[in-house]
Amino acid sequence: MSNDDTTHFGFKQVASEDKAHLVRGVFDSVAAQYDIMNDLMSLGIHRLWKRIAVQLSNVRKGEQVLDLAGGTGDLTALFEKRVGKEGQVVLVDINSEMLRKGRNRLIDKGLAGNIRYAQVNAERLPFEDNSFDCVCIAFGLRNVTDKDAALRSMHRVLKPGGRVIVLEFSHPTNKLTEKLYDLYSFTLLPKIGRIVAKDEDSYRYLAESIRMHPKQNELKKMMANAGFERCEYFNMTQGIVAVHRGYKI
């Protein structure tokens, strides 16, 4: 099997055609405890990261937003407040369990009128060209098999003047932070996963997938290669997380 036919699943090499299925298995397993685990893993800071990402999107009333890999709907709820009744948010995820949980959660919050749902693959978005003012993918790009294809697909569905927001775990800018983060990720995180989500392996994969994700400057170049302009990134929590932003001109 050639290198073009394989990709990484955490630290393992797997057939490219198998990765989506393997990732789906991870999120099927953790969906029920996903929100609780997010709070535990980040000490609740993920809520601040998401709010900053939404602020950087500059989404306004009446706009059309695509929330890719939207999971349980945290970003969709924040975007819904910004677009108002005149706008629309489309929450999509490749995983049916995550999408179902997100839909139920948003309906329970009374958010329904201007939110749509779709189960789709980020690499092949089934939307027309120039459809959205903003495309956001939060903590999802690292799980995509072909990131370049996904970025091109996001660029295609954006309107001219639209922007992409990529919120993702990244690479610490400080050596001490990096060492502490590694200790936490590979020692404590899987144990929390075992106790709370009853799934140690999935959280070990999530830690590994973060390390395999492109570094900040590399992802910035990938976005530019996909057609985005004025690409930039904003490190948060000493680079543990970064928000990347680019525009379709």
Asked whether residue 199 is assigned to any structural domain, the reply reads no
Q: Within 13 Å and on the Cβ side, how many CA atoms surround 246?
A: 22
136 within domain boundaries: yes
So what's the pLDDT on residue 28?
66
In a domain, 190, yes or no: no
Examine residue 43 and state whether it is found in any structural domain, yes or no: yes
Compute the distance between CA of residue 24 and CA of residue 213 in angstroms, rounded to an integer.
18
Helix (H, G, I), strand (E, B) or coil at 165: strand
Let me know if residue 217 belongs to a domain: yes
Tokens read off for 235: 């490190």
33: Cβ–Cβ under 8 A, 6 or more apart, which residues? 196, 197
| pLDDT for the residue numbered 26 | 62
Cβ neighbours of residue 59 closer than 8 Å, sequence gap 6 or more:
65, 79, 82, 83, 133, 134
> Residue 121, annotated ligand binder?
yes
pLDDT tens, position by position, 221-245? 999 999 999 999 999 999 999 999 9
The CATH number for 53's domain is: 3.40.50.150
- Strand residue runs (E) in 51-93: 64-68, 88-93
Residue 170: Cβ-neighbour burial (10 angstroms; 0-12, 13-18, 19+): buried
Question: pLDDT value at position 35?
Answer: 66
Query: Does 15 carry a binding-site annotation?
Result: no
Question: How far apart (Å, rounded) are the C-alpha atoms in residues 134 and 62?
Answer: 12
The backbone torsions φ and ψ at residue 211, rounded to the nearest 5 degrees and listed phi first, read: -70, -25
104 a known binding residue?
A: no
The pTM (predicted TM-score) of the whole model is 0.88
Q: What confidence score (pLDDT) does residue 2 get?
A: 43
**Domain presence at residue 198:** no
Is 38 part of any known ligand binding site? no
pLDDT tens digit at each of 249 positions of the chain: 445 688 877 787 878 887 777 666 666 666 666 667 677 777 789 999 999 999 999 999 999 999 999 988 999 999 999 999 999 999 999 988 889 999 999 999 999 789 999 999 999 999 999 999 999 999 999 989 999 999 999 999 999 999 999 999 999 999 999 999 999 888 888 887 788 768 788 778 888 888 889 999 999 999 999 999 999 999 999 999 999 999 999
Rounded CA-CA distance 47/59 in Å is: 18
Would you tell me how many other CB atoms lie within 10 Å of the CB of residue 86?
A: 10
Query: In terms of residue numbers, what domain contains 64?
Result: 23-172+205-247
Instruction: Judge whether 192 lies within some domain.
Output: no
Report the distance separating Cα 148 and Cα 146, nearest Å.
Answer: 6
Q: Which secondary-structure segment (H or E) carries 75?
A: helix 74-83
Tokens of residue 72, six digits? 């349980």
- pLDDT score, position 1: 42
Domain assignment present for residue 3? The answer is no
Structural domain tally of the chain?
A: 1
